[in-house]
Amino acid sequence: MWNTIFDKAIGQIIREGTLEVTMPDGQKRRYGDGTGERVHIRLKDPDLPRRIVLSPDLGVGEAYMNGQLEVENDDLRAFLTVAIRNSSHRHKLWWQQIVNEVRRTLRRVQQWNPASRARKNVAHHYDLSGELYDLFLDADKQYSCGYFPRPDMTLEEAQEAKKAHIANKLLIEPGMRVLDIGCGWGGMGLTLARDYGAKVLGVTLSEEQHKIACARAKAEGLEDRIEFRLTDYRNVTGTFDRIVSVGMFEHVGAPHYREYFRHVYDKLAPDGVALIHTIGRCGPPGATSPWIAKYIFPGGYIPAMSEMMAAVEKEDLTATDVEVWRIHYAETLKHWHERFAANIDRAREIYDERFCRMWRYYLIACELTFRYSPQVVFQVQLSHDKQAVPLTRDYLYPSGKAAAPAGKANSDKKPVAHAAE
């Protein structure tokens, strides 16, 4: 029965390209319009058709991790390209619409992230071996979307460009107090302290990230300008001239959006500026992929702009600039996967083959989601006063074109005018 349901379901989803499937009983099926590169997969577990029909994301992801779904020549990118391009442009099957509606209904429970639960969720992903991240990140350990004003940029250049763009949006001046919510391994905060003369407080819930960030500050002799705390942002007191948060809002959870922006409101000086950088969805509110929620980011959720901005409005903050980055994260993830694949033998030594298959699936699936699905990056600039930033966006592009990253601006500029990337 489930083989028949699987056959009909996949036939409705895969309309473009060519997907060949060898079923667990040896029978072969072909789907799509016969165009493009032929992709062949083999299902090795008799229960797999049922699991994929009931939860495609979870069923396919787990099956690949466990070796129950084999891709010919292990060309995972080709398989996921066919799967994601088709699923992104087709209506969900009727039972999938019901399942997704149930998941949306339950998300307030699943995304309830008080400090204790948030700390546990963070540890699941960010307290993995520090060496793992060294295998695919840039030297500054930027684990968020890079910025590619030129397509030929290296990963390092794109991450420097990202930080410079954010610094310009923050209008940083020497001596300003900056709160970095979700500081990661410290790269953004260290840049603002070292290159722009800011006084930075960075907070994280990851013990591994906190340890490395503190060591980096000490090694660079910046301990008088930057402090990293192992604490929840909700525990921070005082006000700041600038607030920055890069890649952390995805972990807040929809039930906490007003609480988050209430803290931004309370902690931001009357003439201050905040910059929130987050993955976002172009469509209406939805639910997190069950595979991502189980194996990669428990408690995480990608916000729609409508629900994010509704919370901003209710907390009486003013949006002074909203920018949407479209394919930049796809390019970032492509770089990450290439580096991870080049170092996969070491990753196997740290973990095992199943982990490596999971991580490759994560990086490639996310890249292709940014490339073919309505998933982007939002940068939202906020203030109490709509005159806290210049009247036009010319200050971001002083020369009328992409300029040098942080620390490489023209020497006749003051620190606040470090050129945008």
- Edge to edge, what strands does the sheet with 177-181 contain? 226-230, 199-204, 177-181, 240-246, 268-281, 375-383, 318-325
User: Please, what is the angle between helix 56-65 and helix 76-88, to 10°?
Assistant: 180
Domain that holds residue 73: 2-91
Residue 290 lies in a domain: yes
For each of the chain's 421 residues, which pLDDT tens digit applies? 899 999 999 999 999 999 999 999 999 999 999 999 999 999 999 999 999 999 999 999 999 999 999 999 999 999 999 999 998 765 555 555 655 665 555 556 565 666 666 666 666 566 677 789 999 999 999 999 999 999 999 999 999 999 999 999 999 999 999 999 999 999 999 999 999 999 999 999 999 999 999 999 999 999 999 999 999 999 999 999 999 999 999 999 888 999 999 999 999 999 999 999 999 999 999 888 999 999 998 888 999 999 999 999 999 999 999 999 999 999 999 999 999 999 999 999 999 999 999 999 999 999 999 999 999 999 999 999 999 999 999 999 877 555 444 444 333 333 333 322 2
Question: Across the strands, what pairs with 181?
Answer: 203
Are 286 and 339 in the same domain? yes
* DSSP helix/strand/coil, 95: helix
Are 86 and 153 in the same domain? no
Name which of 172, 185, 90 is nearest 128 in CA terms: 185
CA separation for the pair 59, 39 (Å, rounded): 18
Are 161 and 264 in the same domain? yes
What tens digit of pLDDT does each residue of 240-271 get? Answer: 999 999 999 999 988 899 999 999 999 999 99
CA separation for the pair 418, 395 (Å, rounded): 10
Domain boundary among 57, 91, 125: 91
Q: Which of 145, 183, 356, 366 is catalytic?
A: 366
Is residue 356 annotated as a catalytic residue, yes or no? Answer: no
Task: Specify the residue for token string 């399942």.
Answer: 99
Residue 104 lies in a domain: no
Residue 100 lies in a domain: no
Are 210 and 166 in the same domain? yes
User: How many domains does the chain divide into?
Assistant: 2
What tens digit of pLDDT does each residue of 276-305 get? Answer: 999 999 999 988 899 999 999 888 899 999
